[in-house]
Structure 1
Amino acid sequence: MSSIALRNVEKWFGNIQVIKGVDLEIAEGEFVIFVGPSGCGKSTLLRMIAGLEETSRGQIMIGDRDATAEPPSKRGLAMVFQSYALYPHMSVRDNVGFPLKSAGLPAAEIAEKVDEAARVLKLDAYMDRRPKDLSGGQRQRVAIGRSIVRDPTAFLFDEPLSNLDAALRVEMRYEIAKLHQTLKSTMIYVTHDQVEAMTLADRIVVLEGGRIAQVGSPRELYESPANLFVAQFIGSPRMNVLPTRHMTGLTPPDGAVQVGIRPEHARLAEPGAGHIDGRVDVLEYLGADTFVVMDCGDGVQINVRISGDTTLGPGDPMSIICEDGRVHFFDADDQVI
């Protein structure tokens, strides 16, 4: 294991700059997730760390050495891709052991490392099968196993769950979380799914337009977003944001032009008893919870999370109360106040 540091790294494709001076310290054994919308640069940044993309400017440090100019094979990193990239004619055992065989390790050592990876990933029962006989989740575990046997400095994951259905994604999130607890390895993980980021990461790096918008623990980003972009990207459903002039009974700080409130931090009351009135527009029943989309006029909609056993119906007039200490204010530059 080793720490990884990015020092003012930039990436240019011709005249187009896609990574714009990123500074980041990743501690040894830390699980860090790069998250952001499509085109924000998260996969490019991961590929730069791996050495699959050249770094135009800046430094990439692995441990105490400058790895900026090193080829991928010299960096000691293992990358797990979105596609499993397994050899279809090989068994699981041979797929997992292939990197070691290519490196010329003795057969006994290969067998020992492969068996240990199979134990960690619960692949023991599938070692003689071929990839076509496995589920998507099992194939992804084989791809991860192929990385584990190399005993890398760090693991790099590039949207590894995006090809799986919803149930398998949940299962594999658990598997990856347990893997990190077991191996205690440095892991860098790219995803566009903020739920994956919130449930897996020690720290999340939110990227926007090739720059870091904010870095912090899932709780820090959820409770104390630095700007409107982070506030609306982290949290599901997204934070409600509306002009401060629509709210009554709230005193915004100087310079505030917008107010944000998460669906779970708002509650419904009788008309006239809250900060903004409206009518029930749509109810989204999810079992334990119901999300009530309120039409508050002038194009303002507010999503409120309530108990699943509500008797409300479309058209019902209600008022919305924002919880004390749970309201976020933003200035004209979308920065939190």
Structure 2
Amino acid sequence: MSSIELRGVEKWFGDVQVIKGVDLSIKKGEFVIFVGPSGCGKSTLLRMIAGLEETSRGEINIDGRDATAEPPSRRGLAMVFQSYALYPHMSVRDNVGFPLKAAGKSKADIQAKVDHAAEVLKLGPYLDRRPKDLSGGQRQRVAIGRSIVRDPTAFLFDEPLSNLDASLRVEMRYEIAKLHQTLDTTMIYVTHDQVEAMTLADRIVVLEFGKIAQVGTPRDLYENPANLFVAQFIGSPKMNVIPCTAANNQAVAIGGRPIQGPQQPAVHLGIRPEHITLVNPGQGAMDGVVDVLEYLGADTFVIFDCGEAGQVNVRVNGETTLKPGETVGLSFAPTSMHFFDTDGLAIPFTGTAV
């Protein structure tokens, strides 16, 4: 089990800088997830930790030693890729045990470690099958098993579920969460799917254009986003962001009415769909006209046309009787509003419940 520390890490491809001075400390046994949009540098950063990409500047420490210049084989890490990369002519047993065979381990040692990995991953009934006889989720478990037998100090996952369909992704999220609990090993996981990040991570690292936008627990990022980028990236559906003028403890959303606001000047008001209550027209922060209803069973998301303020998404009970064209008042929970300045940075604000 490893601790991993990045100090001023940079990556350049020619004249293009893709990782821009990343500082990050990952504790032993921690499950850390890198998230961000395509091109933000999350996979590149993971490959730098693995040693598959050279570090242009900075330092990567593993268990207190400088591993920046070490080859992948000496870092004690195991990487699971998006592609399963299984040998089609080998059985599951042989695929899982191949790294040990290549390392010259004894047959008894290989069998013991393969059996242990199969028990952890529930692969026992499939050990004599070949990859073509397995589902996508089972193949990914075999790929993970191949890493487990190496007894690594940390696991690195590079979007391991992106090739699976929706139901298998849910199943494998559960399997990976249980695996972390069972092995209690440091894990670093890359995904563009913020739902995976929210459900699996001890801490999330949100990357934007090669820099860390914010690091924190899923709850920290959801409840206290540091800037507009994090506020809208974390959460499904994303936070509503409405232009406003705010200062001296009062705010007015564009096209709305005065409400409680921050002391400092702000130009954006953020409010999540579940923190908006429907009231009578003329009450609350603003009025909206029902535009589209998205029924999801227990919940319905109602998209309101709020004129100059744009569209506002509201989570309501699935049994709502609202109809397109109705005008409704929207009331914002005072303790759940977020305000941002002209640079998109969060402004401290503690609303008072009413």
- Could you report, residue by residue, the CA deviation over 1:4-31 in whole angstroms, capped at 9, with x for unpaired residues? 0000000000000000000000000000
1:289 paired with 2:270, answer no
- Could you report, residue by residue, the CA deviation over 1:33-79 in whole angstroms, capped at 9, with x for unpaired residues? 00000000000000000000000000000001100000111111000
User: Equivalent residue for 2:260?
Assistant: 251
User: Equivalent residue for 1:84?
Assistant: 84
Which amino acid in structure 2 is aligned with residue 4 of structure 1? I
Kept in 1, the 8 Å contact 2:214–2:230? The answer is yes
| Equivalent position SS for 1:96 | helix
Normalised by the length of structure 1, the TM-score is: 0.99
| Equivalent position SS for 1:23 | strand
Q: How many angstroms does 1:248 deviate by?
A: 1.6
1:232 paired with 2:211, answer no
- Aligned-partner Cα distance in 2 for 1:89–1:320: 61
Q: How many angstroms does 1:82 deviate by?
A: 0.2
- Count residues in correspondence: 337
- Aligned-partner Cα distance in 1 for 2:2–2:157: 16
- Could you report, residue by residue, the CA deviation over 1:191-213 in whole angstroms, capped at 9, with x for unpaired residues? 00000000000000000000000
> Which residues of structure 2 form unaligned runs of 5+?
245-252, 348-354
Q: How many angstroms does 1:298 deviate by?
A: 2.1
| Equivalent position SS for 2:138 | helix
User: Equivalent residue for 1:47?
Assistant: 47
Which amino acid in structure 1 is aligned with residue 183 of structure 2? L
- Aligned-partner Cα distance in 2 for 1:19–1:291: 37
- Aligned-partner Cα distance in 2 for 1:250–1:74: 59
Bigger CA drift: 213-222 or 251-260?
Answer: 251-260
Which amino acid in structure 2 is aligned with residue 213 of structure 1? A
1:262-273 equivalence runs, <5 A = 262-273=272-283
Q: How many angstroms does 1:189 deviate by?
A: 0.1
1:1-337 equivalence runs, <5 A = 1-244=1-244, 245-246=253-254, 247-253=256-262, 254-298=264-308, 300-337=310-347
Which amino acid in structure 1 is aligned with residue 285 of structure 2? H
> Which residues of structure 1 form unaligned runs of 5+?
none
| Equivalent position SS for 2:141 | helix
Percent identity of paired positions between Structure 1 and Structure 2: 76
- Aligned-partner Cα distance in 1 for 2:24–2:234: 20
- Aligned-partner Cα distance in 1 for 2:52–2:299: 44
Runs of 4+ aligned structure 1 residues displaced above 2 Å come to 251-254
User: Equivalent residue for 2:350?
Assistant: none
- Aligned-partner Cα distance in 2 for 1:274–1:22: 43
Q: How many angstroms does 1:261 deviate by?
A: 0.2
Which amino acid in structure 1 is aligned with residue 259 of structure 2? L
Q: How many angstroms does 1:270 deviate by?
A: 1.2
- Could you report, residue by residue, the CA deviation over 1:262-282 in whole angstroms, capped at 9, with x for unpaired residues? 001111111111111010000
Kept in 1, the 8 Å contact 2:243–2:309? The answer is no
| Equivalent position SS for 2:213 | strand
- Aligned-partner Cα distance in 1 for 2:283–2:64: 60
- Aligned-partner Cα distance in 2 for 1:290–1:81: 37
Kept in 1, the 8 Å contact 2:242–2:309? The answer is no
Which amino acid in structure 2 is aligned with residue 252 of structure 1? G
Q: How many angstroms does 1:299 deviate by?
A: 5.7
- Aligned-partner Cα distance in 2 for 1:250–1:22: 39
| Root mean square deviation, CA, Å | 0.7
Bigger CA drift: 243-252 or 61-70?
Answer: 243-252
- Aligned-partner Cα distance in 2 for 1:2–1:298: 52
Normalised by the length of structure 2, the TM-score is: 0.94
| Equivalent position SS for 1:325 | helix
Q: How many angstroms does 1:2 deviate by?
A: 1.1
- Could you report, residue by residue, the CA deviation over 1:129-148 in whole angstroms, capped at 9, with x for unpaired residues? 00000000000000000000
Which amino acid in structure 1 is aligned with residue 272 of structure 2? R
Which amino acid in structure 2 is aligned with residue 318 of structure 1? V
